Amino acid sequence: MADRPVFELTIEPVADDIDELGHVNNAVYVRWIQDMATSHWRAVARPEDVDRYVWVVTRHEIDYRRATRLGETLTARTWVGEPQGARFDRFVEILGPDGGVRVSARTVWALVELSTMRPMRIQRDMAAPFLG
């Protein structure tokens, strides 16, 4: 894990998250990864930035390590890498009740200005709360 502030959420799968194999469907993890990024952004960013910008995914890399079943409480944590132009790498780990990694991911997000719908370079003052 990078030397960055880590944002955490607790996740409890619901019946609709479970597929025919009896575990959390892979597509659900993608939704959780997106939800983590959005929650982190809204929790840490300045209100004026939340109102002016949105983040869009440009790439997902996900490793599914172990199945999660209904009734298990998960801890999801996320942190970001170094900004590069309009992009940030975001890292996510979803841990089982035993602390073992169920899913790890690296996603690339691009900053988009809502008024123009164009990518915007990430300013240092905007990135500072995420970098520590």
Indicate whether 16 pLDDT > 60.
Answer: yes
Domain span at residue 78? 7-131
Please indicate, yes or no, if residue 2 is contained in any of the structural domains: no
Q: What is the CATH number of the domain that holds 112?
A: 3.10.129.10
Please indicate, yes or no, if residue 92 is contained in any of the structural domains: yes
Total number of domains constituting the chain: 1
Taking only the tens place, the pLDDT of each residue in 25-72 is: 999 999 999 999 999 999 999 999 999 999 999 999 999 999 999 999
Please indicate, yes or no, if residue 90 is contained in any of the structural domains: yes
Separation CA 114–CA 129 (nearest Å): 21
Indicate whether 129 pLDDT > 80.
Answer: yes
Side chain identity at residue 109, one-letter code: W
Please indicate, yes or no, if residue 113 is contained in any of the structural domains: yes
